[in-house]
Structure 1
């Protein structure tokens, strides 16, 4: 494999722009990327060295006109210029898209669950509204399978606005 995607990591909570970075060798010095959730897609390319492994980084701007319907996205980076009979080198990473979870998303604050905490109480503390616990659940869908079951010491991401 000649693409090592270091950012984002699987299930990262990302904003706009989505930052990608890693190491790669690309046949003609170009890597393609796409961001999709099954309904709409943003595509583009970034450059990388062509003779040996090189670092790459890019910021993928998600236009306001993009019709994403889900907060779960897939970031794919591939070397479409690689010739041959084998499929092109490709890496796909699932991420959560903060602007679809919380309007005005600017990042997240880590929170360690304490004894006696509930998601409703945490939502009331951060958002002033217990019913907004769904924002926390959606931002942590990779670790919260049941909103009624959280435990002390669990690390949650609390989305925040700018």
Structure 2
């Protein structure tokens, strides 16, 4: 079995710390993680299982608050470093959306089900007090919103909330 990341899920809206969990195995039960935006990254190690071939649960809370990420899309990667040369094996990559890059003081999100007559600018006015901030909603929902001028009733948007 290869390693598996159960949290976060692809395109989850995450904050700090970023919680990474799943099932894995590694050489001498050691695995590595990397969280980055292509410009900056946070790395570390953790243990899972009893050694190569033995799977175990893992959970790591990765503090990324000091990382100077430039993008709100991050890659969470979990992998085993090959014993003989340090190469990466059994790698799992999960793309996520980093809420603190979208909303200052990010601590979570609300869900809003689109109804007839909703517009992104009206939602931004309701939730942020400024219609021009609709891009926050777009950035938090890349799988849902491909064209900001075309939203449809029934869609459920994550509305990032900050302090």
Normalising TM by the smaller chain, what interval?
over 0.9
Partners of 1:101 and 1:72 lie apart in 2 by: 10
**1:46-75: per-residue Cα shift (whole Å, max 9, x none)?**
1111242110000010132x2211101000
Question: What 5-or-longer segments of structure 2 have no aligned partner?
Answer: none
Question: What does residue range 33-52 of structure 1 map to in structure 2 within 5 Å?
Answer: 33-51=33-51, 52=54
Partners of 1:109 and 1:28 lie apart in 2 by: 42
Once the two structures are TM-superposed, the CA of residue 87 in structure 1 deviates from its matched residue by 5.3
Once the two structures are TM-superposed, the CA of residue 83 in structure 1 deviates from its matched residue by 5.2
Indicate the SS of the match to 2:138. helix
Instruction: Using structure 2 for the length normalisation, give the TM-score.
Output: 0.93
Q: What corresponds to 2:55 in structure 1?
A: 53
Once the two structures are TM-superposed, the CA of residue 82 in structure 1 deviates from its matched residue by 5.1
Question: What 5-or-longer segments of structure 1 have no aligned partner?
Answer: none
Question: What does residue range 117-136 of structure 1 map to in structure 2 within 5 Å?
Answer: 117-136=118-137
Q: What corresponds to 1:9 in structure 2?
A: 9
Q: What corresponds to 2:23 in structure 1?
A: 23
Instruction: Using structure 1 for the length normalisation, give the TM-score.
Output: 0.93
Segments of 4+ moved more than 3 angstroms: 81-84
Report how many aligned residue pairs link the two structures: 161
Indicate the SS of the match to 1:105. coil
Q: What corresponds to 1:70 in structure 2?
A: 71
Conserved? CA contact 1:2–1:53, under 8 Å: no
Indicate the SS of the match to 2:89. coil
Once the two structures are TM-superposed, the CA of residue 10 in structure 1 deviates from its matched residue by 0.6
